A and B are shown apart, each in its own frame.
Chain A
């Protein structure tokens, strides 16, 4: 990770950039190149690109603005806590100095247990990929984002990116649930404080009443719910036998109510909040860009293409070798010599009708000894016309150029005949001939004619030049 940039922020910005790029490509050539130069590790390069682009597009500023507006979330959360605690206290202490203890317990814990179960269910069902749409945390976050001041042009993409990041990392349930748990925890703290204050300084009658249930149901409820508090030392109230309404022992019932709210309300919510925080903290540290995603694979391929190639041994141009012509125009020897040079095994040899008029015909594979023999013989024969036959499919090289220069020094005039095996296609043969022609020009083999047909070469050797342009010898 780039120093100074948290992994979470990088992942969030990257996700937002991906959203923006879905609507059209960003021109990131410069950023990609800078990132490529700054780091060697591909993951770091991608992180650097993310920050450079995010900086340019104002995403970083937007993120900072939101961070500053985090108090909004706090205010909203506090409001939610107050509303919740108020509702809870009201549910318990609504009826003046008498409290319907069982009813109060159910109303204090009912909604909480229901939402807690829903949260656990979404945890199991989606594995944390997406929380319930109407979860308290999500609603609070959405309102806070909507109310936050200074919305930049890419605020929506950033918000969506955040959502997608949470979904991808399977954190949505944890993040939104965590907010809800904190709100509930604080709500229960307020409720317990309110109840403690009320029970400490006021006398309440804790009653029970029923229409359809028997008193044994209430004692069973008290025993069942009070088992855990009793284990910790809290008393379990027992209602009077036989009646359909009555009064609990007040002190015992008050402690039972308080301990039940603490153990079944505050404790699970606090534990869940802690759990969420631990999961989120761990996730925030290990969150990384999903390099396996097609989007990142494309970027990686582009980064790889930017890998610089380094020239370690540069080209130093120097003069082409020149060779003094050892040939004397006044003393020509035999009329025509034909030399096959580095021809493939399948080449047509001798090439008709060129061979008919040749005074000397030889074919060599190109070893140093063979070359020396041919040069010696050419120097002795001093042919008026020299035709060197080469394979059009082979790549011309400096070795060939050296041979041609040396041979030309012994001949009156010289030509290159390019033979192509019949097996190759006409197009490949034509390409080969073009390549040789370009090479003859580039290698400054001055005075060399190039033919791609034996008949044309034979006509030229016999004395009548079939071509007009210096290098265009084809009929």
Chain B
């Protein structure tokens, strides 16, 4: 069969069928989701494609609203039927399938046509007789049924009662899911379990699982690459400022503000790109990423306490930098530190940043120009925030409408310390003024470093926000 596996998604009205499908197909625009009961009133099909071929076809069905009466009606249909399926077919052929039970008839018709059904359960609800009737009706269709316990995060204790009921209906394989906040691997598990239920279509479903894994990895790698390129750019960010200007508080403030604005603009671009990679609409960004777009995160990122804290973790003397927001490049500067420290820093800086820096630094030194660069602590904060954003987006269902808050202050950033240390060579790269930051660089060294950083980011364990 070249049609692809057909799966009907059914459930009580407002149980979250469309939300589940949005999450499974990664389309936040699919169908209509609202609190209103019976939002979906028609059957809608959507494909999950592998290399252009529809491997899986989901059908979003209207909610079952009056299963109690329908079950009663079907049980009383006059005539003799060999099995429950014939009874359901007789109902579908009758007039009530287009009158009182039109909505339910659509659901049952689709279940009979499909290879399997996913029964979505809002497990915040008690197991009421109406749900039992729904299960009776579904089981009467004699199709494999995969119950999905939705909204599991809201009511873990009721899930146990639901599982007992499902077992009573001979439904031994079920799935716990939260369409709004899906947990890692849930999607994969769902298709694995379906392939157990549908032994004959197992290879097709395994192909879906493999494809989903591949897509998830590609998304993750692309997001990490974006973060890595932004970090490489940020590490190489330099702003020459006349020493005289730096010595006045107002001048220093202004220089810091300019630097901040430059970083903020690039970071905003990166956030938009990351959102795009995960298939979230840019217009969702304002809603979903308020702290990122309002500019509040910048304050977090440059907050002296954040810097000091991160500096402690890094083991660098960020205390000086913390007061300013970033450290004046210590190499050949040594404004507030002793000569010996400055010398040491100069040697260390040159050694870690490459000798190509030296001529420019000497020139600046002669001209009385200081260079502002981003403190390691800022890079750490930036890396941590962005990777937490990535983590949060991985976990975020495409049905979620709540705002996503990712702050700069978090304990988990320590794991990214090696990343920031590995960024040292980027400080020596030629500044990419106005050039593309998020695209592959023509400079092979820069690109290789970005790739290395991306690899480290992928391996670093960062907790989702």
Interface, chain A (partner B; CB < 8 A) = 18-19, 22, 39-42, 44, 126, 129-130, 163-164, 167-168, 291-298, 301-302, 304-305, 307, 309-316, 318, 321, 342, 344-345, 365-368, 370-371, 393-399, 402, 431, 435, 438-439, 442
Question: Do residues B276 and A301 form an inter-chain contact, with CB atoms below 8 A?
Answer: yes
Quick check: B65 and A397 within 8 Å, CB to CB? yes
Q: Is the CB of A314 within 8 A of B225?
A: no
Cross-chain contact of A44 among B52, B59, B436 (Cβ < 8 A): B52
Interface centre among A39, A44, A370, A435 (most CB of B within 10 A): A435
Additional 7 contacts, C-beta under 8 A, given A22-B439, A368-B72: A40-B53, A293-B439, A301-B276, A311-B43, A366-B68, A368-B68, A398-B103
Does the CB pair A293–B442 fall under 8 Å?
Answer: no
Minimum CB–CB distance from A175 to chain B (whole Å) comes to 14
Closest chain B residue to A305 by CB distance?
B27
Q: In the assembly, what is the distance between CA of A367 and CA of B436, in Å?
A: 65
- 28 residue pairs from A and B, CB less than 8 Å apart: A19-B436, A39-B52, A42-B52, A163-B442, A167-B440, A168-B440, A294-B226, A295-B273, A297-B276, A297-B277, A301-B276, A304-B279, A310-B44, A311-B45, A312-B110, A313-B42, A316-B102, A344-B125, A366-B128, A370-B129, A371-B68, A397-B12, A397-B38, A397-B65, A397-B130, A398-B65, A435-B36, A442-B36
B71 at the interface (CB under 8 A from A): yes
**CA of A22 to CA of B52, assembled, Å:** 28
Complex contacts, B210 vs chain A, CB 8 Å = none
In Å, the complex CA distance between A342 and B27 comes to 34
Is B438 within 8 A of A307, CB to CB? no
CA distance A435 to B106 in the complex (A): 25
User: How many Å from the CB of B386 to the closest CB on chain A?
Assistant: 13
Q: Is the beta-carbon distance between A439 and B36 smaller than 8 angstroms?
A: yes
Task: Return the contact of B69 from the options A42, A316, A342, A368 (Cβ within 8 A).
Answer: A368
**Residues of B23-71 contacting chain A, CB below 8 A:** 25-31, 35-38, 41-47, 49, 51-53, 59-60, 62-63, 65-69, 71
Across the interface, do B66 and A398 meet the contact criterion of CB distance under 8 Å? yes
Contact, CB under 8 Å: B130 / A312: no
Assembly CA distance A312 to B37 (angstroms): 21
Chain B residues, CB < 8 A from A39: 52
B100 within 8 A of A: yes
Q: CA of A164 to CA of B219 in the docked complex: distance in angstroms? A: 23
Q: Which residues of A contact B223 (CB under 8 A)?
A: 294
- Chain A residues lying within 8 Å of B106, measured Cβ to Cβ, are 313
Minimum Cβ distance to chain A for residue B97 (Å): 12
Name the B residues within 8 Å of A310 (CB-CB).
44-46
From 228 to 278 in chain B, residues with beta carbon under 8 angstroms from any chain A beta carbon are 273-274, 276-278
Q: Given A318-B99, A342-B130, A398-B65: A309 and B30 within 8 A (CB)?
A: yes
Interface: B361 (CB within 8 A): no
B221 within 8 A of A: yes
> What total of chain B residues lie within 8 Å of the partner, measured CB to CB?
74
Which B residues lie within 8 Å of A292 (CB)?
A: 218, 221-222
Q: Which B residues touch A163, using CB under 8 A?
A: 442
Which residue of the partner chain A has the closest CB to B129? A367
Q: Determine if B13 is an interface residue (Cβ-Cβ < 8 Å).
A: yes
Rounded to whole Å, the gap between the CB of A406 and the closest CB of chain B is 10
Give complex CA distance A304, B27 in Å. Answer: 7
- Tell which of B49, B63, B447 touches A397, judged by Cβ atoms closer than 8 Å: B63
- Count, A-B residue pairs, CB within 8 A: 171
Q: Is B109 an interface residue (CB 8 A)?
A: yes
Expressed in whole angstroms, the minimum distance between the Cβ of B68 and any Cβ of chain A is 5
Given A307-B27, A345-B126, A367-B68, also A298-B277 (CB < 8 A):
yes
What residues of A have a CB within 8 angstroms of the CB of B443 in the complex? Answer: 130
> Which among A42, A305, A371, A396 is the interface contact of B28 at CB below 8 angstroms?
A305
Find out whether the CB atom of A301 lies under 8 angstroms from the CB atom of B37: no
Contact A318 B102 (CB under 8 A): yes
Least CB distance from B419 to A in Å reads: 18
Give Cα distance in the complex from A261 to B98, angstroms.
92
- B51 CB → nearest A CB, Å: 6
Give the contacting residue for A399; candidates B15, B130, B218, B225; CB below 8 A: B130
The reply to whether the CB of B14 lies closer than 8 angstroms to some CB of chain A is: yes
Q: How far is the CB of B328 from chain A (nearest CB, A)?
A: 31
In the bound complex, how far is the Cα of B42 from the Cα of A314, in angstroms? 5
User: Is B364 on the interface with A (CB-CB < 8 A)?
Assistant: no
CA distance A40 to B49 in the complex (A): 8
Least CB separation from A366: chain B residue: B129
On whether the beta carbons of B440 and A164 are closer than 8 Å, the reply is yes
Residues of A close to B222: CB separation below 8 A: 292-294, 296-297
CB pair A402 B69 closer than 8 Å = yes
For the complex, is B124 an interface residue (Cβ under 8 Å from A)? Answer: yes
B433 touches A (CB below 8 Å): no
In the assembled complex, how far is the CB of residue A186 from the closest CB belonging to chain B, in whole angstroms? 30
On whether the beta carbons of A313 and B43 are closer than 8 Å, the reply is: yes
List residues 419-465 of chain B with CB under 8 A from any CB of chain A.
Answer: 436, 438-440, 442-444, 447
Closest to B13 in A: A397
Name the CB-closest residue of A to B440.
A168
Q: Is the CB of A301 within 8 A of B44?
A: no
Report the bound CA distance from A438 to B60 in whole Å: 24
Q: Provide the bound-state CA to CA distance between A40 and B106, in Å.
A: 29
Specify which chain B residues have a CB less than 8 angstroms from the CB of A438 in the assembled complex: 36
Is the CB–CB distance between B31 and A309 below 8 Å?
yes
When A294-B226, A301-B276, A309-B30 are in contact, do A393 and B42 touch as well, CB less than 8 Å? no
* Contact between chains at B444 and A126 (CB < 8 Å): yes
| Inter-chain contact A167/B439, CB cutoff 8 Å | no
A397-B66 in contact given A22-B436, A312-B44, A313-B43 (Cβ < 8 Å): yes
B126 & A301 in contact (Cβ 8 Å cutoff): no
In the complex, the answer to whether B66 meets A399 with C-beta atoms within 8 Å is yes
**Chain A residue nearest to B443 in the complex (CB):** A130
Is A298 touching B27 in the complex (CB atoms < 8 A)? no
CB <8 Å contact, B273 and A298: yes
Q: Do B46 and A295 have beta carbons less than 8 Å apart?
A: no
A168 to B443, CA, bound (A): 10
Determine the residue in chain B with the shortest Cβ distance to A295: B439
Enumerate chain B residues within 8 angstroms of A293, measured Cβ to Cβ: 222, 225, 439-440
- Interchain CA distance A345-B42 in the complex, whole Å: 33
CA distance A396 to B125 in the complex (A): 12
Kindly name the residue among A19, A294, A366, A398 whose own CB sees the greatest number of chain B CB atoms within 10 A: A294
Which of A126, A305, A318 has the most CB atoms of chain B within a 10 A radius of its CB? A305
A291 touches B218 (CB 8 A): yes
A398 vs B442: C-alpha distance when bound (angstroms): 63
5 interchain residue pairs of minimum CB distance: A41-B52, A40-B52, A298-B276, A301-B279, A395-B14
- How far, in Å, is A321 (CB) from chain B's closest CB? 7
CB distance from B371 to the nearest CB of A (A): 26
User: B45 contacts which chain A residues (CB < 8 A)?
Assistant: 309-312
Q: Which residue of B lies closest to A315 (CB)?
A: B41
Among B125, B126, B128, B277, the residue within 8 A (CB) of A294 is B277
* Distance of A248 from chain B, by nearest CB (Å): 48
- The residue on A at minimum CB distance from B435 is A22
Shortest distance from the beta carbon of B452 to any chain A beta carbon, whole Å: 15
Residues of chain A with a CB closer than 8 A to B438's CB = 22, 294-295
- Chain B: CB-nearest residue to A346: B126
- Chain A CB count within 10 A is highest, among B37, B69, B281, for B37
Complex contacts, B279 vs chain A, CB 8 Å: 301-302, 304-305
Query: B110-128 interface mask toward A, CB cutoff 8 Å, 1 = contact, 0 = none?
Result: 1000000000001011101
Q: Which of A296, A297, A311 contacts B42 (CB 8 A)?
A: A311
Inside 8 A of A22's CB, which chain B residues have their CB?
A: 436, 438-439
**Docked CA distance A406–B125 (Å):** 25
**Interface-central residue, B25, B124, B438, B444, by most chain A CB under 10 Å:** B444
Q: Is the CB of B444 within 8 A of A129?
A: yes
Chain B residues whose CB sits within 8 angstroms of the CB of A402 once the complex forms: 66, 69
Cα(A296)–Cα(B13), bound, Å: 38
Least CB distance, A25 to chain B, in whole angstroms: 9
Q: Bound state CA distance, A468 and B461, in angstroms?
A: 60
Distance between A470 CB and nearest chain B CB, rounded to angstroms: 20
| Residues of chain A with a CB closer than 8 A to B277's CB | 294, 297-298, 301
